[in-house]
């Protein structure tokens, strides 16, 4: 069974540009989570999508946005890139049952570098 996949592996952008990151969850998983892992800041929750809707977001500005498609894959968009957006962006998926404990399975990540 395929795990969570992310693309691209690496992305290099310049300040002010937009970045689009993609994630495909494990088959059968409806929830997709995005996390940012910046150097020195640890792993921070960004966004949670379930059944096509944004369910929760972390403490990030509105220029971080995304969407979930009918096939449960997801995109993370970062507008007006800033140098501090350079980080490893991790996507995770789970069964998405809000009233039970669900292990989140992570993809390999997209390394975004902003120059």
Partner 1 sequence: SQELEQSPQSLIVQEGKNLTINCTSSKTLYGLYWYKQKYGEGLIFLMMLQKGGEEKSHEKITAKLDEKKQQSSLHITASQPSHAGIYLCGADGEIKAAGNKLTFGGGTRVLVKP
Binding letters toward partner 1, positions 20-49, x by CB under 8 A: -----------x-x--------xxxx--x-
93 interacts with partner 1 by CB under 8 A? no
- Going by C-alpha positions, the residue among 47, 45, 50 that lies closest to residue 65 is 47
- The CA distance from 97 to 94, in Å, is 8
66 interacts with partner 1 by CB under 8 A? no
72 interacts with partner 1 by CB under 8 A? no
Pick 31 or 68: Cβ nearer partner 1: 31
- The CA distance from 11 to 69, in Å, is 22
């Amino acid at each position: 069974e395929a795990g969570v996949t992310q693309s691209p592996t690496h992305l290099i952008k310049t300040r002010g540009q937009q970045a689009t990151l993609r994630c495909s969850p494990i088959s059968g998983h409806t929830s997709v989570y995005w996390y940012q892992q910046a150097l020195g800041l640890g792993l921070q929750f960004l966004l949670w999508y379930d059944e096509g809707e944004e369910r929760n977001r972390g403490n990030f500005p509105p220029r971080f946005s995304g969407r979930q498609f009918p096939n449960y894959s997801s995109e993370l968009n970062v507008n007006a890139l800033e140098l501090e957006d350079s980080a490893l962006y991790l996507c995770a998926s789970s069964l998405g049952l809000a009233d039970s404990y669900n292990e989140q399975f992570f993809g390999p990540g997209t390394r975004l570098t902003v120059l």
